């Protein structure tokens, strides 16, 4: 892999507000002017194997930085009500998915380990009752270490979970206090160790850079400790600070946040250390051991991207269940109601209407599909063979079609971030940091609602 180069001068030029391209177009394109009948048709055309995402929105305590769709509560019974609704939603999908198999199942949140062991058992039983889950399916769950006892972790394993992802964020106490998420390093160490003993085949740890009071020296300690824990994958998220959207972030003083060059330095430090420790830099936010499935998929040119980030499958074959979840199947995107009361109301109404609790959606046209494929290729593999792509998508005159994109790409080329030669578009080592901005050159919708996105780094 070409090494990653750093040039702080480029920050002011390319650090735009831009999408993370977990889909193209992004969720902002979804509209209420959408006919849900398209969902059934899309599922009919889909491959036999699908990925399933389930959103569990509850958390015990609020982390101030959090941008996820969650509800902080101490009332455990709220999860029972939620599971009742999920059961109804699954029943609506079950007839459509009768001939399909689920080869990836992911529980995200919020905090799925908010659920008790009894609730987790019920949830898995519901899934098995309604869908055919492959015996060798990847079954993964996001875990807040503070909400997962040893017994719960063992229980997850017996329920068939084989992958775990722990939220770590930062191990420094001053940072942890500022983000209202104090968690002991020993606890994380213990849970990683226990996960290994229990035979979970993949362990991921989440970190965030750009948090309040993060300093190179202390962040380096966090990074080194993560390396010692030796997870299979690491997610290194850029802190998305959008206080106008997420009220809790207003509790984080702007003055405590690292500025853009300091933030870039934190990222640089982490990338350098992870790569030196043998991790493959998958691209935006992600690292994996070279023998991990994600790294192998990238090596084989088969990496994909969906709403969960980089993935080995499910790019256009993902069903999302639960409040706010987004699905993408056969070129159709749809999102469930984003607020819990609306989701419950839609589920209750479904008893009479038989309608899914879907709030908005979008059907990709031919141009969208083309741009989606191109952006996915660049963000996953940093390189595109223009000739092969043109043949596959039947376009005559690639650069004529993308003349506007070429214009936007020109400064990136001049700064050595992108090379266009010998019929290839190549994101260079220095360009990898700016791949979001580079992909944005090919985005046909970007001028709409740009301020709603976070900064690229």
Q: Which residues are annotated as a binding site for S-adenosyl-L-methionine?
A: 53, 65-67, 109-111, 142, 169, 181, 206, 240, 326
Residue with smaller CB distance to ligand SAM, 67 or 429: 67
> Helix or strand or coil: residue 169?
strand
Q: How far is the CB of 161 from ligand SF4 (least distance, A)?
A: 18
Please give the annotated binding residues for [4Fe-4S] cluster, written as ranges. 59, 63, 66
Distance CA 434, CA 425 (A): 15
Of 309 and 444, which CB lies nearer to ligand SF4 in the complex structure?
309
Query: What is the nearest approach in angstroms of ligand SAM to the Cβ of residue 11?
Result: 18
State yes or no: residue 111 binds ligand SAM (CB under 6 A): yes
Answer yes or no whether residue 429 interacts with ligand SAM by CB under 6 A: no
Q: Write the binding mask 296 to 325 for ligand SF4: x where contact by CB under 6 A, - elsewhere.
A: ------------------------------
Closest approach of Cβ 108 to ligand SAM, in Å? 6
> Counting every residue, how long is the chain?
457
User: Which of the stretches 191-199, 234-242, 356-364, 375-383 binds ligand SAM when contact is defined by CB under 6 A?
Assistant: 234-242
* Closer residue to ligand SAM (CB): 66 or 380: 66
- What is the spatial distance between Cα 335 and Cα 342, in angstroms, rounded to a whole number? 12
109 touches ligand SAM (CB under 6 A) = yes
Residue 115: how many CB atoms within 10 A of its CB? 24
* Cβ proximity to ligand SAM, 69 vs 330, nearer residue: 69
Distance CA 382, CA 436 (A): 11
Examine residue 285 and tell whether it contacts ligand SAM (CB under 6 A). no
The verdict on 172 binding ligand SAM (CB under 6 A) reads no
Bridge-based pairing of strands 233-238 and 286-288 is antiparallel
Closest CA to 22 of 264, 442, 380: 380
Q: Which stretch binds ligand SAM (CB under 6 A): 107-115, 329-337, 343-351, 406-414?
A: 107-115
CA 61 to chain centre: 22
At 432, list the tokens: 């990898």
What is the x/- site pattern for ligand SF4, positions 48-87, by CB under 6 A?
A: -----------x--xx--x-x-x-----------------
Q: Is 167 in the site for ligand SAM (CB under 6 A)?
A: yes
Binder of ligand SF4 out of 110, 331, 357, 361 (CB under 6 A):
110
- Other beta carbons within 10 Å of 96: 17
- Indicate the residue among 128 and 245 with the shorter CB distance to ligand SAM: 245
Residue 444 interacts with which of ligand SF4, ligand SAM, none, CB < 5 to 8 Å by class = none
Neighbours of 31 (CB within 10 A): 10
Structure-block tokens of residue 281: 């830099």
Contact status: 205 vs ligand SAM (CB under 6 A): no
Question: Helices (DSSP H) in 238-365: which residue ranges?
Answer: 260-276, 293-299, 340-353
Query: At 418, which helix (H) or strand (E)?
Result: strand 418-421
- Report the nearest approach of ligand SAM to the CB of residue 219 (Å): 14
**293 is a site residue for ligand SAM (CB under 6 A):** no
Q: How far apart are CA 301 and CA 154, in angstroms?
A: 35
Q: Using alpha carbons, list the distances in angstroms from residue 119 to 83, 114, 126.
A: 8, 9, 11
Beta bridge partner(s), residue 286: 235, 283
Please name every residue paired with 319 in a beta bridge, in sequence order, or none if there are none: 52
Is residue 310 a contact residue for ligand SAM (CB under 6 A)? Answer: no
Q: Which does 62 bind (CB under 5 to 8 A by kind): ligand SAM, ligand SF4, none?
A: ligand SF4
Q: Which does 206 bind (CB under 5 to 8 A by kind): ligand SF4, ligand SAM, none?
A: ligand SAM
Q: How far is the CB of 147 from ligand SF4 (least distance, A)?
A: 8
Residue 240 interacting entry, from ligand SF4, ligand SAM, none, C-beta within 5 to 8 Å by type: ligand SAM
DSSP class of residue 235 equals E
Burial 226-264 (b: 16+ CB within 10 A, else e): bbebebbbbbbbbbbbeeeebebbeebeeeebbebebbb
Residue in the structure block whose two tokens are 């300091």: 262
Distances 318 to 111, 168, 314, 327, 373 between C-alpha atoms, Å: 20, 27, 5, 5, 16
| Residue 89 Cβ vs ligand SAM, minimum distance, rounded to whole Å | 20
Tokens 């001028």 correspond to 447
Q: Which is nearer to ligand SF4, 110 or 361 (CB)?
A: 110
- Among positive and negative, which fits the CA dihedral 140, 145, 146, 151? positive
The site for ligand SAM (CB under 6 A) is made up of 59, 65-68, 108-111, 142, 144, 167, 169, 206, 208, 237, 239-240
Residues in contact with ligand SF4 by CB under 6 A are 59, 62-63, 66, 68, 70, 109-111, 144, 167
């Amino acid at each position: 892999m070409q090494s990653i180069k750093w040039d702080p001068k480029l920050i002011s030029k390319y650090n735009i507000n831009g999408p993370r391209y977990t889909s193209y177009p992004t969720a902002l394109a979804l509209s209420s002017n959408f006919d849900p009948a398209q969902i059934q048709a899309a599922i009919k055309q889909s491959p036999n194997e699908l990925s399933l995402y389930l959103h569990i929105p509850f958390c015990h305590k609020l982390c101030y930085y959090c941008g996820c769709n969650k509800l902080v509560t101490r009332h455990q019974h709220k999860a029972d009500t939620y599971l009742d609704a999920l059961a109804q939603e699954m029943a609506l999908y079950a007839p459509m998915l009768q001939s399909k198999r689920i080869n990836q199942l992911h529980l995200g949140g919020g905090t799925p380990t908010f659920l008790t062991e009894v609730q987790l058992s019920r949830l898995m039983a519901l899934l098995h009752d309604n869908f055919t889950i492959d015996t060798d399916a990847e079954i993964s769950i996001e875990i807040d270490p503070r909400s997962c006892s040893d017994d719960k972790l063992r229980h997850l394993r017996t329920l068939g979970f084989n992958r775990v992802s722990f939220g770590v964020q930062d191990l420094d106490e001053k940072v942890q206090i500022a983000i209202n998420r104090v968690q002991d390093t020993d606890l994380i160490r213990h849970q990683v160790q226990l996960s290994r003993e229990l035979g979970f085949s993949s362990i991921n740890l989440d970190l965030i850079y750009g948090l309040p009071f993060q300093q190179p020296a202390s962040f380096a300690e966090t990074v080194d400790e993560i390396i010692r824990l030796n997870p299979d994958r690491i997610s290194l998220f850029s802190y998305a600070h959008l206080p106008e959207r997420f009220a809790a972030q207003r509790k984080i003083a702007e003055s405590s946040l690292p500025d853009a060059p300091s933030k870039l330095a934190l990222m640089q430090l982490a990338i350098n250390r992870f790569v030196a420790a043998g991790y493959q830099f998958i691209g935006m936010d992600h690292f994996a051991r070279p023998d991990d499935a994600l790294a192998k998929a990238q090596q084989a040119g088969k990496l994909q991207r969906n709403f969960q980030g980089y993935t080995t499958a499910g790019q256009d074959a993902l069903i999302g269940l639960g409040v706010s979840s987004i699905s993408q199947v056969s070129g159709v995107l749809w999102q469930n109601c984003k607020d819990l009361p609306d989701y419950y109301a839609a589920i209750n109404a479904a008893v009479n209407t038989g309608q899914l609790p879907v709030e908005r959606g979008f059907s990709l046209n031919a141009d969208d599909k083309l741009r989606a494929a191109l952006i996915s290729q660049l963000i996953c593999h940093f390189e595109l063979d223009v000739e092969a792509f043109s043949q596959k998508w039947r376009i005559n005159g690639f650069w004529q079609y993308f003349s506007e994109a070429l214009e936007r790409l020109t400064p990136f080329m001049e700064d050595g971030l992108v090379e266009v030669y010998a019929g290839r578009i190549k994101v260079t080592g220095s360009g990898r940091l700016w791949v979001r901005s580079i992909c944005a050159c090919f985005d046909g919708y970007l001028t709409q609602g740009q301020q709603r996105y976070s900064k690229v780094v």
